[in-house]
Every structure is written in structure tokens, then in C-alpha cells.
Amino acid sequence: MESICIFCGSSTGNRSIYQEAAQAMGEAIARRGLSLIYGGGNVGLMGMVADAALAAGGEAIGVIPKFLVDKEIAHNGLTQLHVVDSMHDRKALMTELADAFIALPGGYGTLEEFCEILTWAQLGLHQKPQGLLNVEGYYDPLLQLFDRAVTEDFLRSELRSLVLESSSSEDLLDLLANYQPITVEKWLRQDTEI
């Protein structure tokens, strides 16, 4: 594992614990000699995780669509900044550059990015690990929803194990580093004959 993609809020949230978690994650990524791949912004938790990685001597690589550069939220102090045409191109390039994925607290965009990369793993499009930094139980409702999807037979239990989770940056990075991909022969099953 050489690079970690971070999905997180373009807002800092309303509690200092989220900001502290973003800074701790950026520092932990740099300490381990990993490259940070992220959305390229200088605002919110995104900007904080990048600034923390850079301040700790690490590498921060941003991927940002042109329309966000034009709104002047691109981070100008990054190791590298890729400007792409669309949000879709952004996710595709971040996925290509990263060896693993972590979602810090965030809103719709963070959830969408994490769930899409999770879906790609379910479909066998990649075997990279993905995890949630569950700061102060922020992701407990989402994890409960995933568990309910298993209970209600919308998600196979072995696929539920694709989501790694910890409240600690260091522990989550360890989980990602030690991840063993699962092999799912057939992720869809047909219960009845047609």
C-alpha cells in the first residue's frame, strides 16, 4: 500500500473532534510514507487533511474538476494537482491513483464516493480495501444500515465485510494495510427459476 484516497467533507462540521480527526489522519498518512490522494480542495476537512499531511512532510495529490477550480477552492500548495473535466473523471482518477480508500465524516458527496467505490469492490472491479473513520460514532447509522441490508437479504454477509471501520486513524490504516481481499464467486443469486 503506497497511497490512500480520502473522501471527506468540504465543510469542517460543527465539532472540533472532526477537525482533529482529519489532522490526525493526514499526519498518520505522512508518517507512514504514504501518498494522500483526495479531492484537491483547500476548504473543510479536505483542506485540513491535506495541510496536515504536507506539514508532516508527506505528499498530497489532489484531483479536482475544472468548475471547482473556477470557484477558487483548489488547494495551490499540493505536491500535485490534477484538473479534470467532471466529477466522474475525478472519481475515476482518484480510484486509479489510490491503493486504499477511507471516508472521514462528510455529507452527500462523501457518502456517494465511498458507496460507489464499495460497489465497485462488490462487483469485482477492484480488490482495494476501504474503510470508515468512525469519529465519535458518526458512521454508526450507516453501519447499522449495512447490517440491516444483510438481515433483510439485500447484502450478503461476506460483502458486508468489505467495509472496515475504526475510530482511530492508526488502527484503520493498520486494518487497510493487513486487508486480505475476499473472493465472491457470484454476488447475485437467483432464488427462483424464471
pLDDT digits (tens, 9 = 90+) for 84-117: 999 999 999 999 999 999 999 999 999 999 999 9
The predicted model scores a pTM of 0.91
pLDDT at 191: 55
CATH topology for the 3-178 domain: Rossmann fold (3.40.50)
Residue spans of the domains in the chain: they are 3-178
3-state SS, 76-90, equals CCCCEEEEECCHHHH
Beta bridge partners of 135: none
Average confidence (pLDDT) over 25-54: 96
The three cell numbers locating residue 156: 450478503
Q: What are phi and psi of 27, to 5 degrees?
A: -65, -40
Q: What pLDDT sits at residue 182?
A: 82
Mean pLDDT, residues 180-194 taken together:
61
